[in-house]
């Protein structure tokens, strides 16, 4: 596997990084294991000192960390800075609340007394993607370190500078050696790590294809795992929706991070009565986005993360059109240096079209027309994925009804407020299993131990 920083703004190579050798990997795993033996015995308050210090450093140097991200994967600079600050918020959230989340839970058996207590399990191996280079790291580091585990992390090959910078934060914060470890490893080394007896849990955020391999390896080795994978989220627009409000969310929901978000709005499901007006306004909003340097705050359309990502997306659009889809807007590469693609709208996508069940990880929106609310729910549920979704209506009771009927891990009414530190994040079906963030996120890799006391004689 290659670890390279290639700026998608102009496709120039900034720096390459050597992979971790087997000997170096062994040293790092040994350090993480040794650190766990000490870290697990530290109090929540002692752990919080380190985690809060990392949050402080992130906040103080938000501009610097944002620029590293923008240069490596093309995220517009304002979005990048917001991600850095959100990452700090996640760390603060767990440093503040971990002890409460993991406190003993009293039980009330018929005889005697008992409780459930939570304890760490050891070294957790995390495999993370490039689309949110710091946020993805913070949302595993915050809960799992505060729970008393240590973590070793394989980040994506195209964001090595982000990965290294995040690890350096922990060193600067005074973390013990082995608490948080970045690994520039190959796929073969990654496979071996899962089978290593020192690894006690596996967390992946990535593709369904990668998850099938990693989850199978974790299962074969009887290790708990969490899998946060892709999505094909429905954006349902009912006939009574506030159109101006809805279209703003539609453009943002499809184009935030240049559409490279697992829980982005991807399938726009429109009741016929509002479809023509929505499409016209949506098209206008997408056309208004102007490509430019992602380091410039005035830029409204940045590049995709890489040339490879762009070529994959263009091929997906080509295949969709070959199978009968129509391009209502865009569909082509933008004629300029870098990995830029026109904001794109596809219509007339039928179930026999490969695009119908695919995830377009970039600025491509699929638009569907349906007769009514029931048809909208049925189409929303006709997906291999089940991460998020949204419904727009001025009738809150109706919105709640639709939200409850859509088969997905998260639903939003009249917004797409995907993620907050205190809200569990995750999905069902091919989107995977487990939850990150919120109080649920810290329970993924802890031992739930029953402790019971009862006065009783052994049976004769």
Chain centre distance of CA 43: 29
DSSP 37-96: HHHTTS-HHHHHHHHHHHHHHHHHTHHHHHHHHHHHH---HHHHHHHHHHHHHHHHHHHH
Residue 403: Cβ within 10 Å count? 18
Contacts with 41 (C-beta within 8 Å, 6 or more apart), sequence order: none
162 an active-site residue?
no
CA distances from 109 to 118, 119, 219 (A): 19, 22, 33
CA distances from 169 to 17, 57, 134, 172, 183 (A): 19, 7, 11, 5, 15
- What is the rounded distance in angstroms from the CA atom of residue 153 to the CA atom of residue 126? 5
262 an active-site residue?
yes
- What is the rounded distance in angstroms from the CA atom of residue 290 to the CA atom of residue 343? 10
Residues shown for the chain:
460
- What is the rounded distance in angstroms from the CA atom of residue 333 to the CA atom of residue 311? 9
Catalytic residue among 228, 359, 436, 444: 228
Chain centre distance of CA 355: 22
Q: Are 241 and 271 within 8 A, CB to CB?
A: no
H/E element holding 36? Answer: helix 22-39
DSSP SS3 for 164: helix
DSSP 174-211: TPPTTSEEEE---HHHHHHHHH-TTEEEEEEES-HHHH
Catalytic residue among 35, 162, 262, 263: 262
Name the residues annotated as catalytic: 228, 262
């Amino acid at each position: 596997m290659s670890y390279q920083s290639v700026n998608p703004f102009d496709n120039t190579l900034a720096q390459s990084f050597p992979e971790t050798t087997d000997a170096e990997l062994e040293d790092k795993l040994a350090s993480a294991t040794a650190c766990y033996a000490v870290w697990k015995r530290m109090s929540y308050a002692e752990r919080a000192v380190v985690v809060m210090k990392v949050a402080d450093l992130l906040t103080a140097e938000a501009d610097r960390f944002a620029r590293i991200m923008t240069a490596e994967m093309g995220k517009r600079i304002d979005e990048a800075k917001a991600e850095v600050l959100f990452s700090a918020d996640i760390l603060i959230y767990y440093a503040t609340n971990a002890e409460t989340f993991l406190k003993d839970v009293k039980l009330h058996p018929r005889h005697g007394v008992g409780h459930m207590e939570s304890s760490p399990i050891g070294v957790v191996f995390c495999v993370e993607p490039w689309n949110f280079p710091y946020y993805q790291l913070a949302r595993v580091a915050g809960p799992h370190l505060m729970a008393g585990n240590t973590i070793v992390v394989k980040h994506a090959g195209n964001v090595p500078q982000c990965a290294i910078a995040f690890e350096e934060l922990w060193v600067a914060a005074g973390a013990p050696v082995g608490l948080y470890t970045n690994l520039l490893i190959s796929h073969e080394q990654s496979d071996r790590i899962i089978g290593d007896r020192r690894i006690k849990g596996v967390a992946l955020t990535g593709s369904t294809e990668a998850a099938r391999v990693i989850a199978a390896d974790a299962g074969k080795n009887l290790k708990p795992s969490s899998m946060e994978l892709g999505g094909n989220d429905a954006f349902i627009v009912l006939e009574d929706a506030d159109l101006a409000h809805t279209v703003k969310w539609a453009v943002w929901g499809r184009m935030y991070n240049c559409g490279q978000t697992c829980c982005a709005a991807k399938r726009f499901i429109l009741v016929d009565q509002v479809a023509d007006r929505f499409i016209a306004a949506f098209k206008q909003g997408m056309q208004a986005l102007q490509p430019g340097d992602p380091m410039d705050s005035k830029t409204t359309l940045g590049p995709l993360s890489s040339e490879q990502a762009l070529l994959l997306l263009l091929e997906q659009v080509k295949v969709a059109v070959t199978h009968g889809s129509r391009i209502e807007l865009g569909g082509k590469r933008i004629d300029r240096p870098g990995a830029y693609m026109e904001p794109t709208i596809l219509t007339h996508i039928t179930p026999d079209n490969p695009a119908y069940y695919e995830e377009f990880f970039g600025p491509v929106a699929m638009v569907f027309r349906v007769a009514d609310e029931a048809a909208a729910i049925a189409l929303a549920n006709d997906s291999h994925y089940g991460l998020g979704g949204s419904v727009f209506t001025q009738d809150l009771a109706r919105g709640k009804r639709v939200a409850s009927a859509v088969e997905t891990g998260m639903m939003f009414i009249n917004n797409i407020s995907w993620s907050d530190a205190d809200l569990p994040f995750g999905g069902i079906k091919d989107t995977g299993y487990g939850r990150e963030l919120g109080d649920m996120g810290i329970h993924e890799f802890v031992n739930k131990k029953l402790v019971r006391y009862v006065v009783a004689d052994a049976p004769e």
